Amino acid sequence: MFGGKNIQKRYGAREVLRDVTFAIETNKIVGVFGLNGAGKTTLLRILSGLDGYYKGTVYKTDFEDVAYMAVENMYPPEMTVKGLIEFCATFMPKQDTAKIMEQIQEQGIKPKSFLRNLSSGMRQYVKFLLTVYSGASVCLFDEPLTNLDVNMRERIIQTLISEINEERLFIVTTHEIKEIERIIDGFYVLKNGTFSPYYECEQIVDETGASVEEFYKEKVNAKE
């Protein structure tokens, strides 16, 4: 079980996360949707352990490690792709380096290329591969489809489907709901600093007849 209890986060006077409580089981791809500034990135940083200044509890029973694909560029442009993969392998011993090398070569990315010479889409793809093949049992993806062309998006979606298993959990935040809705099991809506109840995608489609994106729009724009 991976989850959080009463997570609160404040930036000065502004309360970003008021009371986030949730619990997710393995073998699931879960979406976290919300408007800009809702606190999605903040929440993922807290869950990944990057931000230690918050109130509440993050618990991860049965999960060894958490990998995080950040929206901001955290990789030094002076590093080569191979150097970066080696660096990550040092700190993530379960990383499937062979698989990452195979995938980047398939995309025509040379291992000796400097990160500064890659396009933003290529860099985004390398970031994604390092997270998904990190071997971590919880993978957090912050906007994984941004900056990518249609083929690359499809590749990412297919990789997510193929890599999820009984020991792993993927949490994805994105605004590209239409593209991600076919692979997620369910989602939360982050609004006013709190999580909505967990919505099962299949159940929503069956009961309301609306797509996940339509349902989300309705929820996020509803006045309280």
Partner 1 sequence: MRKSNGKLFLYELKKTFLIPSLLAGIYLLVALFDTVVFNVGAGAARDYDRYSHIFLYVFYAVVLTLFIYRVFTMRKLYEKMRIAHEKLFWIHVLYIFTYCFLCTTALLLVGTLRVYKMKNGYYAEYVGYARHSLFALQGKTKWYFLFGASVGLTGVITYSVAVFIQHLFVCRDKWYFKAVWGCVFAAAILSTHFVITRTYTCPALGNNEGFATPLPYGGMSYQTYKDFFEHGLSSPFDPFSALLPSAEILRCDLCWNIANPWVLLSGLFVIVFAFVSIGFLHRAKNANYAYTVQKEKNNEIEN
Name the site residues for partner 1 (rule: CB under 8 A).
11-12, 14, 16, 36-37, 39, 41-42, 45, 48-53, 68, 70-76, 78-79, 84, 87-88, 90-91, 146-147
DSSP H or E segment with residue 150: helix 150-163
Whichever of 64 and 154 has its CB closer to partner 1, that residue is 64
Whichever of 17 and 201 has its CB closer to partner 1, that residue is 17
Residue 114 CB, shortest distance to partner 1, in Å, is: 12
CA distance 152 to 154: 5
Whichever of 84 and 156 has its CB closer to partner 1, that residue is 84
Residue 130 CB, shortest distance to partner 1, in Å, is: 10
Give 113: exposed, middle or buried? Use CB within 10 Å, 0-12, 13-18, 19+: middle
Which two three-digit tokens encode residue 223? Answer: 């006045």
Residue 27 CB, shortest distance to partner 1, in Å, is: 25
Residue 49 CB, shortest distance to partner 1, in Å, is: 5
Residue 97 CB, shortest distance to partner 1, in Å, is: 15
Whichever of 146 and 211 has its CB closer to partner 1, that residue is 146
Tokens 């931000």 found at? 51
Sign of CA dihedral 69, 27, 31, 138: negative
Give 41: exposed, middle or buried? Use CB within 10 Å, 0-12, 13-18, 19+: middle
Long-range CB contact pairs, 153-156, < 8 A, 24+: 153/179, 155/125, 156/125, 156/128
Whichever of 41 and 107 has its CB closer to partner 1, that residue is 41
Whichever of 74 and 210 has its CB closer to partner 1, that residue is 74
Tokens 């619990």 found at? 23
Phi, psi of 217, deg, nearest 5:
-60, -40
Query: 74, 60, 70: which is closest to 169 by C-alpha?
Result: 60
Residue 166 CB, shortest distance to partner 1, in Å, is: 25
